[in-house]
């Protein structure tokens, strides 16, 4: 979750936790880390961890950096502090401005493989609408969905 969105939609975060989902850190502002100083990146991460902690009591949360950019500085910091990133292995391309049916057709033709972490976004209806079609099909075909394990406290 993005910190600014956590502040804007706290009831949604409460619902996410109540439904048993793991909270993850996606920075405070969602600006690319590519041109940020290390201090600014860490402020983005720590601010969001603090916001998330108010909902689930965890001090640290798995992190997915905005736009997928990590950088050597964060890799070193996370390694030294025994923290982990979550990255995707399958890009749904839901951010492309195509009709939902195009996304559905593409995902049917080349579906995620077992164990994939699928990148999707909640800033348009495309992912939601595509999943409304595909999830029942995938479940019928025997696909199973699992949560990632929590990061150690």
For 108-122, write each residue's pLDDT tens digit: 999 999 899 999 988
Residue 149 has pLDDT above 80, yes or no: no
Average pLDDT over residues 12-33: 95
Whether 81 and 151 have beta carbons less than 8 Å apart is answered as: no
Q: How confident is the model at residue 152 (pLDDT cuts 50, 70, 90)?
A: low
Residue 124 has a pLDDT of 86
Question: What is the CA 26 to chain-centroid distance, rounded?
Answer: 6
What mean pLDDT, rounded, does the chain reach? 93
pLDDT > 90 fraction of the chain, expressed in percent and rounded: 85
Q: Predicted confidence band at 150 (pLDDT cuts at 50, 70, 90)?
A: confident
Structure-token pair, residue 112:
């995620």
Higher pLDDT, 105 or 145: 105
Q: Cα separations (Å) of 116 from 49, 54, 88? A: 25, 30, 7
Over range 7-24, report the average pLDDT.
95
- 26-60 per-position pLDDT tens digit: 999 999 999 999 999 999 999 999 999 999 999 99
CA distance 31 to 65: 9
Q: What is the pLDDT of residue 24?
A: 94
């Amino acid at each position: 979750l993005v910190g600014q969105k956590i502040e804007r939609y706290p009831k949604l975060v409460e619902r996410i936790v109540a439904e048993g989902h793991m909270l993850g850190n996606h920075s405070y502002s969602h600006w690319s880390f590519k041109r940020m100083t290390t201090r600014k990146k860490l402020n983005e991460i720590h601010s969001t961890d603090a916001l998330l902690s108010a909902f689930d009591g965890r001090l640290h949360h798995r992190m997915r950096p905005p736009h997928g950019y990590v950088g050597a500085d964060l890799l070193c910091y996370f390694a030294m502090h025994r923290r982990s990133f979550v990255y995707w292995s399958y890009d749904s391309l839901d951010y492309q401005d195509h009709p939902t049916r195009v996304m559905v057709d593409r995902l049917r033709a080349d579906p995620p493989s077992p164990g994939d972490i699928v990148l999707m976004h909640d800033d348009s209806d495309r992912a939601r609408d595509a999943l409304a079609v595909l999830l029942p099909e995938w479940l019928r075909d025997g696909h199973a969905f699992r949560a990632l394990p929590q990061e150690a406290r």
